[in-house]
Amino acid sequence: TQLLEQSPQFLSIQEGENLTVYCNSSSVFSSLQWYRQEPGEGPVLLVTVVTGGEVKKLKRLTFQFGDARKDSSLHITAAQPGDTGLYLCAGDNTGGFKTIFGAGTRLFVKA
Amino acid sequence: NAGVTQTPKFRILKIGQSMTLQCTQDMNHNYMYWYRQDPGMGLKLIYYSVGAGITDKGEVPNGYNVSRSTTEDFPLRLELAAPSQTSVYFCASSHPGGSVTGELFFGEGSRLTVL
């Protein structure tokens, strides 16, 4: 059974701080995605990484896929209250129809 | 743009009752999914469909049934509701991604409580 473990489970920081959240597995994935979910809404895709070692940037967010394609990290620079939410990583080896999700990292950024 | 629409948004059921969660998408996606989300547990795949007339079990299918008579609609049926089915249910859709996972588009969720 493939599992994705996310850490930390919960993070509360002050506005302006930097943070990194991690997504780890013992399995290799052909691609890995990061989603962000706000209360009362469904998850929304932030990024998909495909190549081992790949780094993608989305404004203040930097995503990295591990060289062995078993892990990923999300780094946020100068966090803002608008970054508050649940960050989910999701991995897949089936072309999309059996994507598995980690339990998520709940981020709270205080003004 | 409607995207993925789920109804109802909230529902309270008594143990043993049945109900159907409705899901429709207007993006002409072939793939559709039902997930449930429990606190601290992430999203678990219940059932998925790769096209009209084709459905298959996900990770946690027991107690649920689905059908896919059209590309647009993918209802989830709960028979004999149990407290363990208290959860938030998300319907999602995507294009086939080949070797690269396509983006999952989610509905806003349906919060179900079984008492």
Q: Tens digits of per-residue pLDDT, B3-15?
A: 999 999 999 999 9
Other Cβ atoms less than 10 A from the Cβ of B39: the count is: 9
pLDDT at B42 over 90: no
- Interchain contact B1–A (C-beta under 8 A): no
Put simply, the answer to whether A98 touches B48 (Cβ < 8 Å) is yes
Q: What are the strands, taking DSSP E only, across chain B?
A: 4-7, 10-13, 19-25, 31-37, 43-51, 54-57, 64-66, 76-78, 87-94, 105-106, 110-114
Q: What are the phi and psi torsion angles at B103 (to 5°)?
A: -65, 135
Q: Which residue of A has its CA nearest to B111?
A: A40
Q: How far is A44 from chain B (nearest CA, A)?
A: 7
Q: Which residues contact B9 (CB under 8 A, 6 or more apart)?
A: B108, B109, B110, B111
pLDDT at B40 over 90: no
At B15, list the tokens.
Answer: 């143990």
Instruction: Let me know how many helices (H) and strands (E) chain A has, helices first.
Output: 0, 11
Percent of chain A predicted with pLDDT > 90 = 80
Distance CA B95, CA B102 (A): 6
Render pLDDT for A43-96 as a digit per residue (tens, 0 to 9). 999 999 989 999 999 999 999 999 999 999 999 999 999 999 999 999 987 766
How confident is the model over A25-39, as a mean pLDDT? Answer: 92
What confidence score (pLDDT) does residue A10 get? 96
- Interchain contact A42–B (C-beta under 8 A): yes
Neighbour-count burial of B109, counting CB atoms closer than 10 A to its CB (0-12 exposed, 13-18 middle, 19+ buried): buried
From chain A, the residues in CB contact with B90 under 8 A are 42-43
What confidence score (pLDDT) does residue B99 get? 55
Q: Which residue of B has its CA nearest to A34?
A: B103
User: Among A85-99, B40-54, B67-81, whose mean pLDDT is lowest?
Assistant: A85-99
Mean pLDDT score of chain A: 93
Q: What are the phi and psi torsion angles at B59 (to 5°)?
A: -80, -35
Put simply, the answer to whether B4 touches A42 (Cβ < 8 Å) is yes
Give the pLDDT band of residue B2 (cuts 50, 70, 90).
confident
CA within 13 Å, CB half, A50 = 9
Nearest-CA neighbor of A32 among A71, A80, A68, A60? Answer: A71
What confidence score (pLDDT) does residue B103 get? 86
How confident is the model over B14-43, as a mean pLDDT? Answer: 93
What confidence score (pLDDT) does residue A92 get? 84
What confidence score (pLDDT) does residue B41 get? 79
From chain A, the residues in CB contact with B50 under 8 A are 97
Name the DSSP class of A75: E
From chain B, the residues in CB contact with A50 under 8 A are 100
From chain A, the residues in CB contact with B45 under 8 A are 98-100
Mean pLDDT score of chain B: 92
pLDDT at B110 over 90: yes
